[in-house]
Amino acid sequence: MYTIDDLKTDRDAQITVGCIVFFLIAFPAYFNFAADGADGSLGGGVADYQVNGEVTYVLLDSGSESIADGDTWSMTYNTDAVNNADDLNIVGVRISMSYGEDESGNNAPFCTGSNAADTITGTAVHFDYNGSADGQNNGGSGAHEAMATWYNESMVGAVVSGLTMDQIRAQIDLMADGLGDHTVSISVDAEAGNEANPLCGQRSDGGEQVDYTVELMVFDYTIAPYIDTSDI
């Protein structure tokens, strides 16, 4: 703890107290500026900016479908069914899937056949944006997700240089681009395992039961001027 006399004569004390006063003034101003920039009320020129944010999810649908081998289940959802969709920064659509194994065969003790892995493919589409991903049950169970996104994820959590606030916002806040139809689909490629004992007959797998959840991805963010304090 410094005394008044220290502040008059001790240069280290003067520097320390000066830094404390600087941060007490600068940090509230910094965060106020960040808040103003996030809602668009205050623009910023070309500089270094810190972009932070979080993706939350809005449920569109969930259910379970029995999908035959070689078939595709598909459904389209519109943001008209979402409350206040116009106020949301919708940046993606995601379908999450989980599935078991519906393969059947002879369960006699002398039958040695085993289940084969099946491939389940999920696809999400919104206008020209699309994403697809495969998953397998590996003869038992599995889960995976597929998503289509239309914002610059690389900016999130990063320091962005050489752009204005509005230019950054244009890459992470697409506004009306997220409205309209969102289509998801699930297809199944089922495989039956081999049975070595001819007395056991053939194994069969006509498809899979797939549980699914469809969600919109909503990105809430802040853009703030970046202050490098590493040298302080």
Mean local confidence (pLDDT), 114-135? 91
pLDDT band at 58 (very low <50, low <70, confident <90, very high): very high
Asked if pLDDT for residue 146 goes beyond 70, the answer is: yes
Record the tokens describing residue 54, joined without a space. 């979080």
SS3 of the chain: helix, strand, coil, percent, to 5 = 25, 40, 35
Q: What is the mean pLDDT of the chain?
A: 82
Asked if pLDDT for residue 54 goes beyond 70, the answer is: yes
Report the C-alpha gap between 203 and 103 in whole angstroms: 7
Distances (CA, A) of 164 to 32, 45, 167, 173: 18, 5, 5, 14
Centre a 10 Å sphere on the Cβ of residue 75 and count the other Cβ atoms it contains.
Answer: 16
Record the tokens describing residue 170, joined without a space. 């244009």
Report the C-alpha gap between 121 and 146 in whole angstroms: 8
Q: Tens digits of per-residue pLDDT, 182-215?
A: 999 999 987 776 665 566 666 656 678 899 999 9
pLDDT band at 172 (very low <50, low <70, confident <90, very high): very high
- Give how far the C-alpha of residue 4 lies from the chain's centroid of Cα atoms, to the nearest Å: 54
Of residues 35 and 10, more confidently modeled: 10
pLDDT value at residue 7: 47
pTM of structure:
0.73
Of residues 11 and 220, more confidently modeled: 220
